[in-house]
Chain A
């Protein structure tokens, strides 16, 4: 606890001492040579230019239906490599098609089903009723408030990833939004200064330092996760002020539920669309989770 506030305080001092680090242009990251190397390692591709596959660039004939049937490479990795065009080569040229291991699939599918029912029978009716009564601006305010409260999670994880610019952004956002933004309900840091939130968590920090997701886990209620991100979630709980501010367990759960209902009220319909447009929603959710996490780890 003391450590967290210590870090917060230190990063504030840092900003006061070196105002040049203040994020005038939030999009530009400070990149030390060693961090970009680590990034490359973490995302699983080497920085050396990869030699282009001769088959895939040999001509446009590959694109027509008739000729594409003529190359009968049944070896999956070879074919996948061919399908990966040069643009995505640097990010996605992997030995295996990129999916996440799923040894717990039978159990995960059961919990996927439970979560699905939980959404349609409990969460959605609650969120719809809530949406009908509470105006959208207020609900966005509540979302901002909860998000502002979890600043320590993002700030510490920025620091753990040596992302000092991100940490500076989060500090400024917290100071500004907690005061001028009326305890976080408004987001003047974004609307006035264009300082975007850095969506970092401990799972991403672990990923940044080269730890893979291990395997997929579908938790009841909490939803999609992986072994790595489950540890990450536990770490984030330790950095979440709500864990310390609210002593009573039922009140804590009630507040977290409210946060969830509020969040859901802003995105009713998305899950329905997703289910309608997928052939195997469980697989689709698992892969979407995996890809999105990889994307977040890479774009820190």
Chain B
């Protein structure tokens, strides 16, 4: 009787810790933090502060983001049901255009806020998926809530979506894309994406 109780208790304990440990290990969060720190170091680099270096600075940030952001997954999720109806050529045209737009969204966001402090508010891991909650404090101490969604590919946790104050990036583009494709066509979507690219 006593022994079974002991075994049960031990089992319970091991389950509890088994549940808790991944929450503390924080591989997705560590990887995200590494990327964010790199971006921050570029943003605060005095050599890159001058306006003439703005282009170089953006390029550096883009390179850092390429390692952590899964642009194709973002594109797939944003097109949702329309993705399956596209030819490989259409997809090869679409993904880089969308990537340019997304990079600018991110860069606008990080350059716009004068970041003061970033606090990591915890992560949820479910097999290959993880959500990481982040609070960004601006110089004037206003908090902005950001949540990253990551997906494990190999050893890397890659970002496939992020939301600012509950407004999800993928979800928002999905609705816009759907509206444009349903009302006109995929070609119209490509055309509009091209007008948004930085050359214009």
Which A residues contact B (CB, under 8 angstroms)? 57, 60, 63, 65, 68-69, 71-74, 76, 79-80, 83, 85-88, 97-99, 136, 140, 190-191, 196, 269-270, 273, 276-280, 283-284, 287-288, 291-292, 294-296, 298-299
Is B126 close to A, CB under 8 A? Answer: yes
Interface residues of B, count at CB 8 A: 49
Inter-subunit contact B72/A97 (CB<8 Å) = no
Contacts of B173-192 to chain A: CB distance below 8 A: 173-180, 189, 192
Is B117 close to A, CB under 8 A? Answer: no
Which A residues touch B143, using CB under 8 A?
A: 196
Which B residues contact A (CB, under 8 angstroms)? 72-73, 76-77, 80-81, 83-85, 88, 91, 101, 104-105, 108-109, 112, 124, 126-131, 140-141, 143, 149, 151, 153, 163, 165-168, 171-180, 189, 192-193, 196
Which B residues touch A60, using CB under 8 A?
A: 128, 153
Which of these, A68, A98, A99, A287, contacts B83 with CB under 8 Å?
A: A68
Inter-subunit contact B84/A73 (CB<8 Å) = yes
Inter-subunit contact A283/B175 (CB<8 Å) = yes
Q: Which residue of B lies closest to A297 (CB)?
A: B166
Which of these, B73, B77, B104, B193, contacts A279 with CB under 8 Å?
A: B193
Given A79-B81, A190-B141, 8 more contacts at CB 8 Å? A57-B128, A63-B73, A87-B129, A87-B149, A97-B174, A279-B192, A280-B180, A283-B176
Inter-subunit contact A279/B131 (CB<8 Å) = no
Kindly state the separation between the CA atoms of A283 and B151 in the bound complex, as whole angstroms: 28
Inter-subunit contact B176/A278 (CB<8 Å) = yes
Q: Which residue of B lies closest to A74 (CB)?
A: B81
Inter-subunit contact A86/B72 (CB<8 Å) = no
Inter-subunit contact A295/B165 (CB<8 Å) = yes
Inter-subunit contact A279/B176 (CB<8 Å) = yes
The 25 listed contacts between A and B (C-beta, < 8 Å) are A63-B73, A63-B151, A65-B72, A69-B88, A71-B84, A76-B81, A83-B77, A85-B129, A87-B126, A97-B175, A98-B171, A136-B140, A276-B108, A277-B108, A277-B196, A279-B176, A279-B192, A280-B176, A283-B175, A287-B171, A291-B163, A291-B167, A294-B166, A295-B166, A296-B166
Kindly state the separation between the CA atoms of A298 and B147 in the bound complex, as whole angstroms: 15
Q: Which residue of B lies closest to A299 (CB)?
A: B166
A196 nearest CB across to chain B (Å)? 8
Which B residues touch A74, using CB under 8 A?
A: 81, 84-85
Which B residues touch A190, using CB under 8 A?
A: 141
B75 nearest CB across to chain A (Å)? 10
Q: Which residue of A lies closest to B172 (CB)?
A: A287
Q: Which residue of A lies closest to B160 (CB)?
A: A85
Inter-subunit contact B84/A72 (CB<8 Å) = yes
Which of these, A57, A79, A278, A294, contacts B80 with CB under 8 Å?
A: A79
Inter-subunit contact A69/B84 (CB<8 Å) = yes
Inter-subunit contact B112/A283 (CB<8 Å) = no
Which B residues touch A291, using CB under 8 A?
A: 163, 166-168, 171-172
The 3 A-B pairs at the shortest CB distance, nearest first, are namely A295-B166, A86-B126, A85-B129
Which B residues touch A85, using CB under 8 A?
A: 126, 129, 149, 151
Q: Which residue of B lies closest to A75 (CB)?
A: B81
B143 nearest CB across to chain A (Å)? 8
Kindly state the separation between the CA atoms of A269 and B163 in the bound complex, as whole angstroms: 19
Inter-subunit contact B131/A88 (CB<8 Å) = yes
Inter-subunit contact B124/A279 (CB<8 Å) = no
A87 nearest CB across to chain B (Å)? 4
Inter-subunit contact B112/A288 (CB<8 Å) = no
Which A residues touch B168, using CB under 8 A?
A: 291
Which B residues touch A269, using CB under 8 A?
A: 112
Q: Which residue of B lies closest to A71 (CB)?
A: B84
